[in-house]
Amino acid sequence: MRKSLLSFVLIAGLFLPIGASQAQDTNTVTATCKDGTAFTGTKRSGACRGHGGVQSWGTAAATASPGATPPTPTTSTSPRTTPSPGGGAGQVWVNTASKVYHCPGTRWYGKTKQGSYMSEAEAKAQGARPDHGKACSS
């Protein structure tokens, strides 16, 4: 009788592992990624890969609520982040080092290390070309 009971427990253990959910909870790693997404896995290695890295370890549900706004990612900027004084209507920024001019509202307008403001016609007359081949005016 004892052998049959032991056999039954062993067979039942194969199909219904006792405490498997508890064992899984202790081996589960959670984190909140820097872009606000949650990570759940069995290892810390590779957590939040492609999401800017780990912001915090612990319970993902506690650190990232569904209605929360994700943190703003930080980006590196060039040494000059504000446009130089000058510019204005009809003015382009000419990078004097590369001889490329940038239109108002574009990424590098007034932000390259070397350059000056002038009209698009003046820039073309001095041999500058438009950034990515797109002229500012038609």
* Distance from C-alpha of 110 to C-alpha of 84, rounded to nearest angstrom: 5
Tens digit of pLDDT for each residue in 12-26? 666 665 554 444 456
pLDDT tens-digit series, residues 65-124:
445 555 454 444 444 445 455 677 789 999 999 999 999 888 888 888 899 999 999 999
- Taking the C-alpha atoms of residue 100 and residue 123, their distance in angstroms, rounded to an integer, is 9
Delimit the domains of the chain by residue range.
27-65, 91-133
Q: Give the pLDDT confidence score for residue 82 in this predicted structure.
A: 52
pLDDT tens-place string over residues 43-64: 888 888 888 888 888 854 444 4
Only one residue has tokens 């041999």, namely 127
Share of the chain above pLDDT 70, in %: 62
Residue 99, CA distances (Å) to 86, 87, 90, 119 in order: 19, 17, 18, 14
- Residue written as token pair 């939040």: 48
Q: Which residue type is seen at 70?
A: P
